[in-house]
Amino acid sequence: MPRFNLSFFQDLLSTISEQGHRLVFQNVVSGSGQLVPELVERLLSGQGEASGIALARELLNGYASLDQNEKREFFEFLLNNYGPDHDAIASAVQKYQSQPEDETAIQLFEASEPRRQELLRRLNLASGATASLVAMRSDLITFLKDNPALKAVDRDFYHLLSSWFNRGFLVLRRIDWNTPAIILEKIIQYEAVHAIKSWEDLRNRIEPKDRRCYAFFHPALADEPLIFVEVALTGSTPDGIALILDMQRTPSLETDATTAAFYSISNCQVGLKGISFGSFLIKQVAEELKRDLPGLKDFVTLSPVPGFKKWLDQERGLKKSEFFTSADNELLSQLENESWLDEDANGELSSLVLNIASRYFLEARDPRGRLVDPVARFHLGNGAQLEHIHWQADCSFAGLSQSYGLMVNYLYDLAVIERNHESFMSKGLVVASAEVEKLKKTKKTKQRNRSERDV
């Protein structure tokens, strides 16, 4: 594997340092991208330590001025030139094998660290660099599909960002009508579950006394929420989203509330993909609310079921599904026509769909053996339990096209959360309420209906 031609850069560098700061910068900005490599080398070589911050800043600016194609090339350059140092590894392996001890193992660890990691640490010297690195990774992620080899580079980003965005560094802040607009507009932009249509819609979710919104922030990303959750304080577990988002409703007193309903959780930063904040957020918000409002008894979500429709449609296309009969399938064909929305919620169709949905959660598994639904995996993995499944609970376009309008409540019972978590993790056990278990066992089928009619 050909390494970087240092003598060429050495020459260049002496010229550059003669001409000083401006020229390097200008060439990078000119978009040729050719000088980025030297910047990388100088930053890593440590020769430039005295001006490490300035070098890091230049390189970040240089990167920002690249077009999409050049950015991809930049990551490929990192992939090809700043991965593990195989000479160093070979020598460390040899040493380890002759003396397999902790000391030599640690040397092996240090020798095998891809050089990119040190590069990222040094880039982070510049003030504001953390935000730039998060943005850089969000670019990188878009290239992974076409060039899976770049995953090695992504792993280095992930390694450092997950250390830097450790829970211990996050700050929980309430989002309300007193929050600066620059943050609020990002809440509007990042809401991923129930789109916020306008500033009035936003206000309706954060200003009334019976609404809350909290976000995690990182000190190095001042105006950027990392993840946020929207909460409705209610008198009972909500069974649909429409009433919660209703712009005309009359707010009630927060002190009357018995239930905190987490109805939307959105990750904000693509560049932090894979670093999980949601579990911490829900638990800390629950504690915060509990302290403020001792009247709160239940902490539940009102969650979408984003994988249900796709899964059901697939099952229906199979010759034979293990979750329903052909007669059922015929009944399900009503779902192909929107008129089913006007039908009785207590009818055959609803009974059937709820029965299938309960089995979707309790029995269906994807090829990797996991629960099909990603939202279910998240909450059950957090130790929540599946409490209710609601029929026609989100009849928006998104709700219908993801889950035929179903929504569910996951219950966060702090007393049993850890036990649930452990049995889910170790044995894959889904803890569900008696109600959901019952749904699994009953369905009004045509037959039964007929026989009822016959009687």
**How far is residue 5's CA from residue 145's CA, in Å, rounded to a whole number?**
30
Q: Is the dihedral of CA 141, 147, 148, 151 positive or negative?
A: negative
Q: How far is the CB of 304 from a second copy (least distance, A)?
A: 22
**How far is residue 34's CA from residue 8's CA, in Å, rounded to a whole number?**
13
Q: Which of 8, 11, 32, 103 binds a second copy (CB under 8 A)?
A: 103
Site for a second copy in 159-178 (CB under 8 A): 160, 163-164, 166-169, 171, 177-178
Catalytic site residue from 132, 266, 303, 321:
303
Q: How far is the CB of 323 from a second copy (least distance, A)?
A: 30
| Closest by Cα among 159, 73, 76, 148 to 112 | 159
Site for a second copy in 252-281 (CB under 8 A): 279-280
Q: Which of 106, 253, 318, 341 binds a second copy (CB under 8 A)?
A: 106
Site for a second copy in 210-229 (CB under 8 A): 219-220, 223
CB neighbour list of residue 185: distance below 8 Å, 6 or more residues apart: none
> Catalytic residue at 421?
no
Q: How far is the CB of 168 from a second copy (least distance, A)?
A: 4
**Residue showing tokens 């249509």:** 197
Site for a second copy in 359-388 (CB under 8 A): 382-383
Of 30-38, 96-104, 250-258, 291-299, the window that binds a second copy (rule: CB under 8 A) is 96-104
Between residues 53 and 430, which has the closer beta carbon with respect to a second copy? 53
Site for a second copy in 393-452 (CB under 8 A): 417-422, 425-426
Of 95-103, 288-296, 297-305, 334-342, the window that binds a second copy (rule: CB under 8 A) is 95-103
> Catalytic residue at 390?
no
DSSP letter at 173 equals E
Between residues 60 and 406, which has the closer beta carbon with respect to a second copy? 60
**How far is residue 423's CA from residue 431's CA, in Å, rounded to a whole number?**
9
**How far is residue 54's CA from residue 125's CA, in Å, rounded to a whole number?**
9
DSSP letter at 321 equals -
Question: What is the total residue count of the chain?
Answer: 455
| Position 126 contacts a second copy (CB under 8 A) | yes
| Amino acid, res. 397 | F
Q: Could you tell me if 273 and 142 are in contact, meaning their C-beta atoms sit under 8 angstroms apart?
A: no
**How far is residue 45's CA from residue 39's CA, in Å, rounded to a whole number?**
10
DSSP 98-142: HS-SHHHHHHHHHHHS-HHHHHHHHHTTSTTHHHHHHHHHHHHHH
| Position 347 contacts a second copy (CB under 8 A) | no
Site for a second copy in 23-62 (CB under 8 A): 46-53
Query: How many residues interact with a second copy (rule CB under 8 A)?
Result: 71
| Position 2 contacts a second copy (CB under 8 A) | no
**Residue showing tokens 């490929």:** 76
CB neighbour list of residue 163: distance below 8 Å, 6 or more residues apart: none
| Position 127 contacts a second copy (CB under 8 A) | yes
Active site residues: 303, 379
